[in-house]
Amino acid sequence: MTETKQSGVQRLERDGITWLCVEKPSKAIFESLEQDYKLHPVHLKESTQTIQLTQVEREDHYIFLLVHLPTYDAATDRIMTSQVGVFLGHDFLITIHDGRQSAITDLFKACLADEAVANAYCKDSSGYLLYGLLKQLLEDVTNTIETLLNELDTIEIVVFDNNKSDAYQIGKLRQKIIRLKRVVDPLETVLNDLAQQINTFSHEHLAKYYSNNAKMAKKLTEVVAEAQETIEIFKDADFTTSTEQTNRILAILTLVFTFTIPVTVMGTLYGMNVPLPGGLSTHAWTFLGPYTTEGLIISGSVGAALAMYAFFKNKRWF
């Protein structure tokens, strides 16, 4: 096994198989790859253009695979998308990435450091090496999904065990799940396409292996879809909870305001500069004592409020 390294390119050679791990390639590297491996310049360009869609294309002497993979950035608490361009030849594998997909570099370093790992991945063929690499990438996606599922479980406890709104936490997790779904969904299709082409290209019986990767991608898609449905339920539950809490507050404020209407009306009437029974112009009532007028006004206001309370209670408005 031999390894050579130049700026942006790491080379691993074993049993007639060459693996080039290219990170953030320059124009000069692209020109070298185009010349040495007869790669189409359009495919090389697409491998680094982030606007490209997940795809698989077959040429005479290589298969070009472009996949997008999610990575969780703990520093920003966001799901980031990394793009990987893969060129599979009969005796070579070229992976081109932007450096954010650590699973590729980790596997490459593991093959260099451990003879057993190198034997497991590289001894059969370049097609089997690609299968192992894709399997590792899918396992990395699984770890990302499990991180969000753990967060989903935490959100569930918060949503159903308190009466306050958790809209911000739910919205942030919902954004991450939607972004994850957008990245994961195309994987099943492209891996199925690759499984259908791999045998005729490599002249090996590798379709079963690649189909397993496609099945794994399908399961991941289903898990993410279920997580999206769950977070939508949490969003609706949180909205219902916050709405009910708001309604309770409004109901209390409405009742307080309604019960003060009688005393407000009485106070307004007797605050006018017009003659009223028991008012200043006609002299206050004193047949029950010096505060007869005040007592009658307060009693009338309280009585009206109690009558409204009884009426509301009878109508079951609260």
Neighbours of 82 (CB within 10 A): 20
Separation of alpha carbons 23 and 105, rounded Å: 9
Does position 184 have pLDDT exceeding 90, yes or no?
yes
pLDDT over 70, % of the chain: 88
Give rounded-to-5 percent helix, strand, coil for the chain.
60, 15, 20
Mean pLDDT over residues 121-139, rounded? Answer: 88
Return the sign of the alpha-carbon dihedral for residues 254, 255, 258, 260. Answer: negative
- Give 38-72 pLDDT, tens digit per residue: 999 999 998 888 767 888 999 989 999 999 998 88
Angle between helices 207-259 and 261-270 (to 10 degrees): 40
Nearest-5° Cα angle at 9, 7 to 11: 130
Mean pLDDT over residues 269-286, rounded? Answer: 65
Does position 1 have pLDDT exceeding 60, yes or no?
no
- Which of 26-35, 112-121, 138-147 shows the lowest mean pLDDT across its residues? 112-121
pLDDT of residue 258: 78
Residue 18 vs residue 120, higher pLDDT:
18
* pLDDT band at 244; cut points 50, 70, 90: confident
State the chain's mean pLDDT as an integer. 83
CA dihedral 299, 302, 303, 308 (to 10 degrees): 170
Does position 3 have pLDDT exceeding 50, yes or no?
no
- Give 133-156 pLDDT, tens digit per residue: 999 999 999 999 999 999 998 888
pLDDT of residue 195: 93
Angle between helices 126-160 and 102-113 (to 10 degrees): 130
- Which of 74-83, 165-174, 292-301 shows the lowest mean pLDDT across its residues? 292-301
Class of domain 2-243: alpha beta
With contact defined as beta carbons under 8 Å apart, do 159 and 238 qualify? yes
* CB burial readout 273-305, b (16+ within 10 A) else e: eeeeeebeeeeebeeeeeeebeeebeeebeebb
pLDDT of residue 6: 55
Angle between helices 167-202 and 126-160 (to 10 degrees): 160
With contact defined as beta carbons under 8 Å apart, do 52 and 134 qualify? no
pTM here is 0.75
With contact defined as beta carbons under 8 Å apart, do 211 and 195 qualify? yes
- Which of 231-240, 273-282, 286-295 shows the lowest mean pLDDT across its residues? 273-282
- The alpha carbons of the chain give a radius of gyration, in whole angstroms, of 36
* CB burial readout 237-270, b (16+ within 10 A) else e: ebeebeeeeeeeeeeeeebeeebeebbeebeeeb
pLDDT of residue 57: 92
pLDDT of residue 49: 82
Pick from 97, 73, 74: which is nearest to 85 by CA? 97
Separation of alpha carbons 224 and 67, rounded Å: 18
Does position 163 have pLDDT exceeding 80, yes or no?
no
Separation of alpha carbons 23 and 9, rounded Å: 6
In the chain, where the domains are located: 2-243, 260-315
Separation of alpha carbons 205 and 147, rounded Å: 35
